[in-house]
Amino acid sequence: MTQSFAERRARLMGPNVPTFYETPVHLVRGEGAWLWDASGKRYLDCYNNVAHVGHCHPHVVQAIATQAATLNTHTRYYHDLVLDYIERLTATLNHGISQAIMVCTGSEANDLALRMAQAVTGKTGIIATDNTYHGNTAAVSQLSTRRPPIGGRAPNVRLVPAPDVLRPLGGSLAAQPQAFADNVAAAIAELEAAGFGFSGIMLCPVFANEGLLPPEKGFLDPTVAVVRRDGGLILCDEVQPGFGRVGSHFWGHDALGFAPDVVTIGKPMANGHPVAACLARPDVMAAFREAFGYFNTFGGNPVSAAACLATLDVIEGEGLQSRAAETSAYLMDRLRALRHPLIADVRTAGMFFGVEFVQGDLPATAFVAELVEDMVARGFILNRIGRGANTLKMRPPMVFGIAEADLLADALQAALSTR
The residues in 116-135 that bind a copy of itself, with binding defined as CB under 8 A, are 118-119, 122-124
Stretch that binds a copy of itself, among 159-167, 223-231, 254-262, 268-276 (CB under 8 A): 268-276
Nearest to 158 by CA among 121, 201, 206: 201
Strands 362-363 and 353-359: antiparallel
Q: Is residue 272 part of the contact set for a copy of itself (CB under 8 A)?
A: yes
Using only the alpha carbons of the chain, give its radius of gyration. Answer: 21
- CA gap 39, 412 in Å, rounded: 23
State the nearest-atom distance from the C-beta of 56 to a copy of itself, in Å: 5
Q: Which of residues 194-253 bind a copy of itself (CB under 8 A)?
A: 196
Which helix (H) or strand (E) is 416 found in, with range? helix 402-417
Q: Is residue 19 part of the contact set for a copy of itself (CB under 8 A)?
A: yes
CB closer to a copy of itself, 37 vs 318: 37
Q: Is residue 398 part of the contact set for a copy of itself (CB under 8 A)?
A: no
SS3 state of residue 25? coil
The DSSP result for 164-205, as a single string, is -SSS-GGGSTTTHHHHHHHHHHHHHHHHHHTT--EEEEEE-T
State the nearest-atom distance from the C-beta of 55 to a copy of itself, in Å: 7
Q: Is residue 412 part of the contact set for a copy of itself (CB under 8 A)?
A: no
Stretch that binds a copy of itself, among 242-250, 253-261, 277-285, 352-360 (CB under 8 A): 277-285
The alpha carbon of residue 145 and the mean position of all alpha carbons in its chain are separated, in whole angstroms, by: 16
Which helix (H) or strand (E) is 359 found in, with range? strand 353-359
Question: Tell me, what DSSP letter sits at residue 399?
Answer: T
The alpha carbon of residue 183 and the mean position of all alpha carbons in its chain are separated, in whole angstroms, by: 23
State the nearest-atom distance from the C-beta of 128 to a copy of itself, in Å: 15
Query: In the stretch 49-88, what mask flags binding to a copy of itself with x, by CB under 8 A?
Result: -xx---xx-x-xx--xx--xxxxxxxxxxxx--xx--xx-
State the nearest-atom distance from the C-beta of 280 to a copy of itself, in Å: 8
Q: Which of residues 157-196 bind a copy of itself (CB under 8 A)?
A: 196
CB closer to a copy of itself, 25 vs 225: 25
Query: In the stretch 286-325, what mask flags binding to a copy of itself with x, by CB under 8 A?
Result: x-xxxxxxxxxxxx-x-xx---------------------
Which helix (H) or strand (E) is 366 found in, with range? helix 365-377
One of 52, 107, 132, 334 touching a copy of itself (CB under 8 A): 107
Stretch that binds a copy of itself, among 29-37, 210-218, 248-256, 363-371 (CB under 8 A): 29-37
One of 46, 97, 100, 415 touching a copy of itself (CB under 8 A): 100
- CA gap 259, 236 in Å, rounded: 9
One of 93, 208, 233, 275 touching a copy of itself (CB under 8 A): 275
State the nearest-atom distance from the C-beta of 3 to a copy of itself, in Å: 11
Residues in contact with a copy of itself, total (CB under 8 A)? 107
Strands 198-203 and 125-129: parallel
The DSSP result for 124-150, as a single string, is -EEEEETT-----STTGGGGS-SSPPT
State the nearest-atom distance from the C-beta of 402 to a copy of itself, in Å: 25
- CA gap 379, 190 in Å, rounded: 49
Q: Which of residues 361-390 bind a copy of itself (CB under 8 A)?
A: none
- CA gap 412, 354 in Å, rounded: 13
Count of other CB atoms within 10 angstroms of residue 73: 12
State the nearest-atom distance from the C-beta of 114 to a copy of itself, in Å: 6
Nearest to 232 by CA among 200, 280, 275: 200
Q: Is residue 108 part of the contact set for a copy of itself (CB under 8 A)?
A: yes
CB closer to a copy of itself, 375 vs 416: 375
